[in-house]
Structure 1
């Protein structure tokens, strides 16, 4: 039987512990919420400092004919892309983030800040951005021949893409990656290299695009890790897809997969041999192990 003293201790201690626990939970919640809001405002403030890159929303709306379907050039996980023409006659591509976009404010800022500091003929050039109300718009140079996936996965188009053209595209992607990894002022891991994120200009030169998921490395940093796995499965190195560990080697793996797709004209995740559907890497590895030519 519980004596009076024990009962008194329980009556005092239990409510006190409950109050302390609730206080800790509340403080943690408001701290995290405040930090998130702070990060958000810091992001917006940093964007606001880049006045020379800011476009007025009405200017972009006029350039794209009010984002008409006739001007829609494509659509990705972030939202639609529109072709536009400014009043001076310059053609542009406008990436309009949708409300359910996989990119949030931080990824949006990331793409603006990084691409603004990167200048290379094999990277898509950022012209500016628009940040008004709920609108998040990125303005790029217009690259007329669309993305690489429209060519290599179309049986008719890839038939007209000779080996010299394919080699030129592969070399352009390699040069762009080398610049990101070694030659730029920043060390960048792209993290989302795939056929849909390589654009082709009028002369079929490759230009790497989509840097919302990219990571900047500090000096002497060769790898990193994340709890948020982004990118396209099939292009991801196993250590990244399963453990969230990434490095420039992750981009090199993606480049190898992309190169294989360009050479074979087959998607990495849906290669067909007759009526059979296989994983392209598994199919090729069999031929490599037996040291026989790959039939694509």
Structure 2
């Protein structure tokens, strides 16, 4: 009897076999597929799938994570489509079901849940050994983080400006930061999906702002720069707070990037 792997939507998938043709609509998943050695099976990606840089250039673009070109995907005749609950629109995915035989839904919500993601992809695409290597590397990083002590800090993690936007505590980003004892403010949770997971902020009506120790300006989805950092440092509402740029890929990309992401956060927190 064949082994089936269950995705984040509760759908069980049979092994794909050697003829798999994969389109990925998730940048971090695309990077992970390459890390699993699935290069020759990847036929489509989004324009935001930019890693590994030396390999993705050969893969056909099919639009963005939300502005997906359905006809471009249809022309590629994929057997499998990789999507994510947060990053892709449900209506688009439902339209793709009409002509893509297998849609694999992902939704890791914490660094440790990458272990299940590796196992899922490894089982579907016959890369169990490669998936286990990634799992072993991630386990080492998680054990290292758990063994170290970091002073608790409240952080404001900004992902957008005009309007200012941050992240709720039930996001993957917040779970990553928690590994080094950094806790996101405001202390809100937004449920499975929705705008509340990425709350809009009014600094003039934020009593919790006084509790913030550190302000982190992410490189994505808004690309904050040193000029933004310096301007925010001059804002009297930010007086006394440490303000710095942070690599958003290292904190928000799951899959294989989580391994280096934890290393990155451990170094950042150690230097704090």
Please, what TM-score do these two structures have when normalized by structure 1?
0.21
Structure possessing the higher radius of gyration over alpha carbons: 1
Higher relative contact order (CA 8 A, sep 6+): 2
Q: Which has the higher helix share?
A: 1
Please, what TM-score do these two structures have when normalized by structure 2?
0.22
